[in-house]
Amino acid sequence: MDKSEHRNPVVIQKEGLSMRRQALFRPAAASVSNSKKMISESKFAFLLLLPTIVILLGLLLYPFLYSIYLCFVDLNLTKPWVGPKFVGLENFSTVLKDGEFWLSMETTLYFAVFSVAASMILGLAAALLFNVKFRMRGLGRSLLLIPWAMPGVVNAMIWQTMLHPNYGLLNGVLLKTGLIESPVGWLSDPKLALISVIMAQVWTSFPFVALMYLAALQSISGELIEAAKIDGAGSIRIFKDIVVKLLVPVTLVLLVLRTIDSFRVFDLVFAMTKGGPANSTQLSGLYLYKQGFMFSDFGLGSAGSYILTGFILVFVLLYMRVLRQKDGV
């Protein structure tokens, strides 16, 4: 007879209990080991990202905080012996009382309204055109993006050359067609300079609008259009009752984005007119540039930039309110 058959039952019971305890606590020990391993890997990943985080904080957070500091001090490099002096809200008050600032805001508003409206209309027309299948449509879409992809300064130089009174393309075409009798100073006439800048801005920005509208048009179900045609709806009614309504969300987004971009325009105007003639094209961004970098008054420049940011936030809040009303929130 095997000796295992004569083992004490109490001993066997204790061994079974010990084995069950080991089986019970083994997963817990393994999970603790895995959690420690994950923590160590997280620390290692954080250490790898730490230099990038420090660089980003230095390039983004520090200038942001320093610009806020400049809003409340009088720092003018033309008076280095004075040094930074805390002035509270005086910089904001000075900017808001400056007639030139409000003139630049008026010009910026005029510029934004007409450039945004024109770019939206032209962009929608281009999107409707390129939504139709025709030969070399892909090439046309690629060429459409060239004005938007080029730097603003390059676009400004192109338009400056086209609008030159002596050898500009626009005057040459108008003279040959007999629409004008003498060259027009597009950038030297205060009444025409802002219109010229608006044309350049529209030419630069409408491809982005067209691209967004084109993506929205291609997301419209073809079955919906076919059903409307079967019900007897014509092209105009389909466009008014279906396409336009489905384009409302992207239109609201484009209105906000284009308005913000219009308030932030600087390089195009600076390269074309530098705010002239007679400050007729001095937008708010150019006014802030003059205060901060031409007159070396960084306090006024920083305060004015945050005032401009406040105006932009108003448009963003209006946009959010329209979206909430549209969604029924």
Note if the bond before 277 is cis, omega within 30 degrees.
yes
Q: In the prediction, which pLDDT does 180 show?
A: 85
Report the C-alpha gap between 206 and 200 in whole angstroms.
Answer: 10
CA 47/CA 53 separation, integer angstroms: 10
pLDDT of res. 97: 92
**Could you tell me which of 148, 152, 126, 157 has the C-alpha nearest to residue 266?**
152
Which of left, alpha, beta for 227 (phi over 0: left; psi -120 to 50: alpha)?
A: alpha
Whole-angstrom distance, CA of residue 281 vs CA of residue 274:
8
The amino acid at 311? F
The pTM of the full predicted model, rounded to 2 decimals, is: 0.78
* pLDDT value for 329: 45
User: What's the token pair of residue 128?
Assistant: 């409707």
Closest residue by Cα to residue 268 from 189, 207, 210, 194: 194
Q: What is the pLDDT of residue 120?
A: 92
Q: What is the pLDDT along the chain (329 residues), one digit of tens a residue?
A: 444 445 555 444 545 545 555 554 455 444 555 555 556 777 877 888 888 888 888 888 888 888 899 999 888 777 766 678 888 899 999 999 999 999 999 999 999 999 999 999 999 999 988 888 888 888 888 888 888 888 888 899 999 999 988 888 898 999 988 888 888 889 988 889 999 999 999 999 999 999 999 988 888 777 777 787 777 777 788 777 788 888 888 888 888 889 889 988 888 999 999 888 888 899 998 999 998 888 888 888 899 999 998 988 887 788 778 766 665 54
Q: Are strands 73-74 and 85-86 parallel, antiparallel or unpaired?
A: antiparallel
For 12-49, letters b (16+ CB in 10 Å) and e give eeeeeeeeeeeeeeeeeeeeeeeeeeeeeeeeeeeeee
